[in-house]
Amino acid sequence: MQQLSEQYAASVPRYTSYPTAPHFHAGVTNETYRDWLGSVPAGSEISLYIHVPFCDRLCWFCACHTKQILRYGPLSRYLEALYKEIDTVGSLLDPGTRVSAVHFGGGSPTMLKPEDIGKLDRKLRAAFRYLPQAEISVEIDPNDMEDARFDALAQIGMTRVSLGVQDFDPEVQAAINREQSFEQTKAVVDGARLRGVSSVNLDLLYGLPHQTCESVEETMRQALTLRPDRIALFGYAHVPWMKKHQTMIDEAALPGTAQRFEQVRRAGALILASGYEAIGLDHFARPGDSLAMANRSGAMRRNFQGYTVDQSDTLIGLGASSIGKLPQGYIQNCTGTGEYERMVAESGLAAVRGYALSDDDRIRAWVIERLMCDFSFSQTEMQEQFGDRAGPIIHQARLLAASDSSGQFERRGDSFTVTESARPLVRLIASKFDAYLGKGSARHSAAV
């Protein structure tokens, strides 16, 4: 038990990319990005991520790139820069590319006025060609929502929404500066479904200040009455060295490692008992949801938005701090909104860092993604995809399985597998294939 506690507390990346963002560097520039965009094959399906880095309140648990604003003026200025970046990126891509998925994130994209939601959609559709079945997902702050915003989102074709719940307990909400009643959340879920949204996701957190196993279970019971199509159950990442506003959280009120594990265990049990399927590390979905079907077929992927059915090899990030992925590597825009607006005004782009992938990076990225998605990877499939280049990493996997006396990682015929009891530790096991971990000064959150 002592060894397990130490493993649960180990600090490892979340692996929404490989290499992870702390290893991006300034050697990847706007000029690099222009070349990469121009090399996207004609006819490719791409996806878009649009970042709105503003909120009308700052939640103390949040680790996103966002800031609080009390006036709409900064958002209006930001949108003008965003429109120019959209035009620039669209002009650099082959006109034969098609958009299969669009994700509006933040921050709070629902801070946009209804008329600006429509204008942003028109700008995007003028610069990029959407497939008729393109999925359009939006992160919603229930505190922003009213009928006009709902109607504007419906008019742009919103198909999926994600709501941050975190916890319904008033004491926990006060401790993280996120007041949001169950009734308010229910009204937003109902409003989305009334407008034809086919998939509703709820984000919940464990490991928050003042949470107990009983309070987490009660929040989960309330959340389940809303019949979400997907549930994301994340462990709170306390990283005050990265996000200074997290210093507002009383560390003495945070649950310990054993408590965190019991909280996620109990909450997960409630979800599974309600008929959901476990998806990867921290997601759940109804059996008929597209994510559950992709999970069963082995087609699920993982990117900066978490688990996804998006099969595109090109993800275009738009807006300050956004990260994109192209076949050649990763690209990230500058974080500060003022600097973003200046750079876009000068050149139409705002890339400041990234990472060009090597062959070894691509193989390790594939292994880590399959472990995070399937808890397993096939030696044969790996060799078919990468040929002899896969040899050294297959050898590493064999050694890891042979030396693992704890029974967490095993070789089973053609496959290398994280055993069922060790699945909560999959990030830790995936980190064994991370050639960059421990290099540099990056710090990470707890494994569980």
CA 427/CA 302 separation, integer angstroms = 13
Given a cut of 70, whether residue 446 has pLDDT beyond it is no
State mean pLDDT over 301-324. Answer: 95
Select the more confidently predicted residue: 14 or 340: 340
Three-class HEC string of the chain? CHHHHHHHHCECCCCCCCCCHHHCECCCCHHHHHHHHHCCCCCCEEEEEEEECEECCCCCCCCCCCEECCCCHHHHHHHHHHHHHHHHHHHHCCCCCEEEEEEEEECCHHHCCHHHHHHHHHHHHHHCCEEEEEEEEEEECHHHCCHHHHHHHHHCCCCEEEEEEECCCHHHHHHHCCCCCHHHHHHHHHHHHHCCCCEEEEEEEECCCCCCHHHHHHHHHHHHCCCCCEEEEEECCCCCCCCHHHHHCCHHHCCCHHHHHHHHHHHHHHHHHCCCEEECCCEEECCCCHHHHHHHHCCCEEECCEEECCCCCEEEEECCCCEEEECCEEEEECCCHHHHHHHHHHHCCCEEEEEECCHHHHHHHHHHHHHHHHCEEEHHHHHHHHHHHHHHHHHHHHHHHHHCCCCCEEEECCEEEECHHHHHHHHHHHHHHCCCCCCCCCCCCECC
Two tokens, residue 52: 């709105």
Residue with tokens 């965003």: 82
- Residue 445 · residue 14 · CB < 8 Å: yes
State mean pLDDT over 248-253. Answer: 89
pLDDT-derived band at 2 (thresholds 50, 70, 90) equals: very low
- Residue 294 · residue 244 · CB < 8 Å: no
**Confidence at residue 5, expressed as pLDDT on a 0 to 100 scale:** 44
CA 246/CA 3 separation, integer angstroms = 29
**Confidence at residue 63, expressed as pLDDT on a 0 to 100 scale:** 73
Share above pLDDT 90 across residues of the chain, in percent, rounded to a whole number: 83
Torsion of CA 77, 82, 83, 86, to 10 degrees: 170
Weakest mean pLDDT among 333-342, 344-353, 419-428: 419-428
Given a cut of 50, whether residue 1 has pLDDT beyond it is no
Two tokens, residue 414: 């053609």
CA 15/CA 302 separation, integer angstroms = 8
**Confidence at residue 238, expressed as pLDDT on a 0 to 100 scale:** 81
Select the more confidently predicted residue: 243 or 250: 250
State mean pLDDT over 106-121. Answer: 96
**Confidence at residue 442, expressed as pLDDT on a 0 to 100 scale:** 55
pLDDT-derived band at 440 (thresholds 50, 70, 90) equals: low
**Confidence at residue 248, expressed as pLDDT on a 0 to 100 scale:** 85
Two tokens, residue 345: 């005004």
Give the domains, in start order, of the chain with CATH numbers: 23-356 (3.80.30.20), 359-433 (1.10.10.920)
Two tokens, residue 112: 């946009």
Torsion of CA 42, 99, 279, 428, to 10 degrees: 60
pLDDT-derived band at 360 (thresholds 50, 70, 90) equals: very high
Given a cut of 80, whether residue 441 has pLDDT beyond it is no
Share above pLDDT 70 across residues of the chain, in percent, rounded to a whole number: 96
- Residue 211 · residue 169 · CB < 8 Å: yes
Given a cut of 50, whether residue 4 has pLDDT beyond it is no
Task: Kindly report the backbone phi and psi dihedral angles of residue 307, in degrees, each rounded to the nearest multiple of 5, phi listed first.
Answer: -75, 140
Predicted confidence (pLDDT) per residue in 140-154, tens digit: 999 899 999 999 999
Q: How far, in Å, are 22, 39, 141, 330 from residue 94 at the CA level? A: 31, 8, 35, 19
Residues sharing a CB contact under 8 Å with residue 320, sequence separation 6 or more, in sequence order: 51, 53, 65, 78, 333, 334, 335, 336, 337, 339, 340, 350
Select the more confidently predicted residue: 158 or 64: 158
